Amino acid sequence: MDDLFRLSHLAGRMQPSPIRELFKLIAQPELISFAGGLPDPGAFPVDRVASCADVLNTNGLELLQYGASEGFGPLRDILLDMSGRRLGYSVSGAELLVTSGSQQAVDLVGRALLDPGDVVVVEAPTYPGTLHSLRNVGARFVAVACDSEGMRVDRLPKAVARCERDTGRRPKLIYTVPDFSNPSGACLSLQRRSQLLSFAQELRIPILEDDPYGCLRYRGESLPSIKSLAGDSPTVIYCSSFSKILAPGVRVAWAVADPELIRTMVLVRQGEDLCTSTVTQGLVAEYCRRGYLEDHLEKILAIYSAKCSAMELALAKHLPQGAAAWHAPAGGFFFWLRLDGISSRDLFHRAIGERVAFVPGEAFYPDVDEQIGDTVTGDRFARLCFTFADTQQIDEGCRRLSRALSPAPTAG
Amino acid sequence: MDDLFRLSHLAGRMQPSPIRELFKLIAQPELISFAGGLPDPGAFPVDRVASCADVLNTNGLELLQYGASEGFGPLRDILLDMSGRRLGYSVSGAELLVTSGSQQAVDLVGRALLDPGDVVVVEAPTYPGTLHSLRNVGARFVAVACDSEGMRVDRLPKAVARCERDTGRRPKLIYTVPDFSNPSGACLSLQRRSQLLSFAQELRIPILEDDPYGCLRYRGESLPSIKSLAGDSPTVIYCSSFSKILAPGVRVAWAVADPELIRTMVLVRQGEDLCTSTVTQGLVAEYCRRGYLEDHLEKILAIYSAKCSAMELALAKHLPQGAAAWHAPAGGFFFWLRLDGISSRDLFHRAIGERVAFVPGEAFYPDVDEQIGDTVTGDRFARLCFTFADTQQIDEGCRRLSRALSPAPTAG
């Protein structure tokens, strides 16, 4: 870059995500995408959201003005109620912050707690947006392997001890998506939730529990959030979002945490973007007030559950025996395939040739030079989102994927 | 705070704004507020904004989905056109970023360019939100005095030289609000704009030109933005916003800058909040597409111009001779009073007693321990916003202020 702009140390190390480069290859007609983790736009409650825009007429003077950094009052009331039900206790206003997507909640927690070089425990694989947020503040990562029941919590003590030995620092945060992780789809077992919490309390490391998919369970019984297991302990910082249960375009999410931490996040936030749009907060509040959210959840649960089953069926039907292994998720957006004998990046390029796309696994792991302890990479994995495509596309896409997995011998 | 949360170095130094504490005193009935820098809610184009919510019906599938970090296509087209007219050249898409308020543009520039301890030149007085954003990344400040023609650019070389001598660092950024500065209301003269640009180009220090009020001129001829004087030089980073010309609640603003800097800001932003709400971007784009913005600007220019004159008149009529001095602004939102013989904080408390509020000057200066070079403070100044109150309140508020300035002798 022109020497006029001398980038900050942190910004200077930023690299465009290689995945975003791959995404450019996806923009072609007739391609079936399992790549983006997008809600089904066909399920968006367009009419009802549009009808709620009445609030711009009835409450325009307030909705068009600056809002409080903590969030718009009527929406906060709804979120306190929703959070109370999800978290199993009466959440106080001082514990709540409305954010512009959960991405911002992670960003604010990172800015509030982390100095460059500080270490965060993440699941491997984990949500790349969180890696990006925490990289923005110079974090390094301890990656703890996952299996079909989520993070291998039993490995945590050794990983933390090794981090302390190697870096002289105890990790400052443990990040987890316990319900239907992006990308693994795994649901952290109840026993592991309790173990994780005990461990975090003992070592005094806060847990950041990211819960965008908790309401999207298609089979089995709901498990309590880690925050709810923590009772009145401040150990768990909880965040969730309307992005997956209503619409990402509204950019409305929320965090529930210790009041003093929330105060610090608000302070940071006042220098970041002041507040979330009161227009979209008012729209979401009205949508919830009319009871539409319950109806919509019921609707998308049916749709996504059917799509999840469709992908399970299509993978079993089309994929060559032994080419890939997976566990069908009980909720969320994703299948996570372990490939046999092919790198996911190679498979990606072959798949694009067959006009089907997914996200290669490497995106979901910290870069090797950001990792403390045993380094892990995702080269043998592939994330398939089942919520965006329709069921016919899901079947056809899996058929195409099978061709990519077993290419015809080239003429020679 | 509980030792569970060990705050980052930067967050640990953050203090709640003393001004926000003062604002709590303002929440009382019958108080006339010249404090908040708020648009007139009575002028909000509620009906027309609400009518534009039709786009949620016609374009809901796109508006409810995730959007590009760079901004929503149709809004970007409008902003390229608006920017072209304001900046006097054909702005390219690679130079444009939609942000969630200009506050976020400043935040992203800060995160892209500044390491802790880096120095930014600001006007004294300057916009406190920018101090807050830059404080979030650990900036220190060189405060250059202003007069009725804006920043004393002639003092810049000496201030920069002294900064280099004292700290070993050249400032990495010069922040200015050339048109109708918040809080001083001053408009940087054409000669000073050119001088500032030459100086910045010579020293290779980028200028961040914040232009929320450029369209809000009530008398005299418009001056070219500094960005437009820079031609094809990348020296100037420009940002503006819909907050003051339409509605702050939409949280839609934009930055125009060197494409490589924009790319870096986008990268940082992807870890911060992903994108601005597509719902509000779509709403604003539709509002502009229908030609409503021109109408609205005409309307608020008339309203604010009348309010500006009303405050000029009321101050002259009511304030005790010699108690305060000011220059009537030619645009923007604010009168900036230099007080004689009383601190603005003392006056604030007396004014609250008289049920009128303003913002004491200290808010608009960096803290003394953040300043490099000659330190300045705002204890003798007061900011009065004339856009929020109605003209009758403006007259009555100035009458009350005069009582605060010349309190009746207490019985003794």
Q: Note the ipTM here.
A: 0.96
Give mean pLDDT, residues A398-407. Answer: 93
* Distance in Å, alpha carbon of B264 to nearest chain A alpha carbon: 7
Choose from A13, A20, A66, A208 for mutation: most chain B CBs within 10 A.
Answer: A66
Tell me the chain A residues in contact with residue B230 when contact means C-beta distances shorter than 8 Å. Answer: none
- Residue B412 reports pLDDT greater than 50: no
Tell me the chain B residues in contact with residue A280 when contact means C-beta distances shorter than 8 Å. Answer: 277, 279-280
Q: Which amino acid is at B254?
A: W
Which A-chain residues 2-31 have CB contacts (< 8 A) with chain B?
2-11, 14, 16-17
Q: Name the residue facing A264 among B9, B14, B53 (closest C-beta).
A: B14
Rounded to whole angstroms, the Cα distance separating B241 from A303 reads 40
Q: What is the predicted pLDDT for the residue at B24? A: 77
Q: What are the tens digits of pLDDT across the range B346-369?
A: 999 999 999 999 999 999 999 988
Q: What is the predicted pLDDT for the residue at A313? A: 98
Note whether B277 contacts A250, CB cutoff 8 Å. Answer: yes
Q: What is the predicted pLDDT for the residue at B377? A: 84
Strand, helix or coil at B120? strand
* Distance in Å, alpha carbon of A218 to nearest chain B alpha carbon: 23
- Residue A330 reports pLDDT greater than 60: yes
- Residue B410 reports pLDDT greater than 70: no
Q: Does residue B235 belong to the interface with chain A, where contact is any CB pair within 8 Å?
A: yes
Q: What is the predicted pLDDT for the residue at B1? A: 47
Q: What are the tens digits of pLDDT across the range A158-209?
A: 999 999 999 999 999 999 999 999 999 999 999 999 999 999 999 999 999 9
Cβ atoms of B306 and B391 within 8 Å: the answer is yes
Cβ atoms of A97 and A265 within 8 Å: the answer is yes
Phi, psi of B197 (to 5 degrees): -65, -45
Q: Name the residue facing A249 among B1, B50, B279 (closest C-beta).
A: B279
Which A-chain residues 120-179 have CB contacts (< 8 A) with chain B?
129, 132-137, 172
Percent of chain B with pLDDT over 70: 98
Cβ atoms of A331 and A349 within 8 Å: the answer is no
Which B-chain residues 197-226 have CB contacts (< 8 A) with chain A?
204, 206
Q: What are the tens digits of pLDDT across the range A241-259?
A: 999 999 999 999 999 999 9
Scanning the structure block, which residue is given the tokens 């979401």?
A284
Q: What is the predicted pLDDT for the residue at B395? A: 98
Cβ atoms of B59 and A44 within 8 Å: the answer is no
Give the DSSP letter string of A46-90. HHHHHHHTHHHHHSHHHHTS---TT--HHHHHHHHHHHHHHHTS-
Note whether B260 contacts A137, CB cutoff 8 Å. Answer: no
Note whether B61 contacts A41, CB cutoff 8 Å. Answer: yes
Comparing alpha-carbon positions, the chain B residue that sits nearest to A200 is: B4
* Distance in Å, alpha carbon of A387 to nearest chain B alpha carbon: 13
Tell me the chain B residues in contact with residue A249 when contact means C-beta distances shorter than 8 Å. Answer: 63-67, 277-279
Which B-chain residues 53-72 have CB contacts (< 8 A) with chain A?
53-54, 56-57, 60-67
Q: What is the predicted pLDDT for the residue at B318? A: 97
* Distance in Å, alpha carbon of B404 to nearest chain A alpha carbon: 29
Comparing alpha-carbon positions, the chain B residue that sits nearest to A173 is: B5
Q: Does residue B117 belong to the interface with chain A, where contact is any CB pair within 8 Å?
A: no
Which A-chain residues 260-279 have CB contacts (< 8 A) with chain B?
260-261, 263-264, 267-268, 270-279
Tell me the chain A residues in contact with residue B57 when contact means C-beta distances shorter than 8 Å. Answer: 46-47, 50
* Distance in Å, alpha carbon of A134 to nearest chain B alpha carbon: 8
Q: What are the tens digits of pLDDT across the range B200-244?
A: 999 999 999 999 999 999 999 999 999 999 988 999 999 999 999
* Distance in Å, alpha carbon of B54 to nearest chain A alpha carbon: 7
Structural domains of chain B ordered from first start: 9-45+294-405 (3.90.1150.10), 54-292 (3.40.640.10)
Scanning the structure block, which residue is given the tokens 């010309």?
B245
* Distance in Å, alpha carbon of B157 to nearest chain A alpha carbon: 18
Cβ atoms of B396 and B30 within 8 Å: the answer is no
Note whether B61 contacts A46, CB cutoff 8 Å. Answer: yes
Cβ atoms of A277 and B103 within 8 Å: the answer is no
Q: Name the residue facing A132 among B235, B249, B271 (closest C-beta).
A: B271
Note whether B247 contacts A67, CB cutoff 8 Å. Answer: no
Q: Does residue B116 belong to the interface with chain A, where contact is any CB pair within 8 Å?
A: no
Task: Between A133 and A24, name the one with better pLDDT.
Answer: A133
| Chains A–B, number of C-beta pairs less than 8 Å apart | 269
Q: Name the residue facing B46 among A64, A234, A271 (closest C-beta).
A: A64
Cβ atoms of A175 and A210 within 8 Å: the answer is yes
Which band of pLDDT confidence, cut at 50, 70 and 90, is reported for residue B83?
very high
Q: Name the residue facing A283 among B38, B278, B279 (closest C-beta).
A: B279
CA distances for B307 relative to B35, B351, B397, angstroms = 15, 21, 13
Rounded to whole angstroms, the Cα distance separating B395 from B322 reads 19
Sign of the four-CA dihedral A337, A338, A342, A348: positive
Choose from B3, B4, B239 for mutation: most chain A CBs within 10 A.
Answer: B4
Cβ atoms of B79 and B96 within 8 Å: the answer is yes
Going across the sheet that includes A253-256, the strands are A96-99, A253-256, A236-241, A207-210, A173-176, A119-124, A140-147, A150-151
Note whether A111 contacts B63, CB cutoff 8 Å. Answer: no
Strand, helix or coil at A176? strand
Note whether A61 contacts B38, CB cutoff 8 Å. Answer: no
Rounded to whole angstroms, the Cα distance separating A305 from A28 reads 28
Cβ atoms of A35 and A358 within 8 Å: the answer is yes
Which A-chain residues 278-317 have CB contacts (< 8 A) with chain B?
278-280, 283
Which band of pLDDT confidence, cut at 50, 70 and 90, is reported for residue A21?
confident
Percent of chain B with pLDDT over 90: 91
Choose from B1, B3, B8 for mutation: most chain A CBs within 10 A.
Answer: B8
* Distance in Å, alpha carbon of A53 to nearest chain B alpha carbon: 6
Tell me the chain A residues in contact with residue B114 when contact means C-beta distances shorter than 8 Å. Answer: 8
Q: Name the residue facing A234 among B2, B113, B115 (closest C-beta).
A: B2
Q: Pairing state of beta strands B253-256 and B173-176?
A: unpaired
Q: What are the tens digits of pLDDT across the range B9-59?
A: 999 998 887 777 777 777 788 999 999 999 999 999 999 999 999 999 999
Note whether A247 contacts B39, CB cutoff 8 Å. Answer: no
Report pTM: 0.96
Q: Which amino acid is at A315?
A: L
Note whether A280 contacts B277, CB cutoff 8 Å. Answer: yes
Q: What is the predicted pLDDT for the residue at B174? A: 98
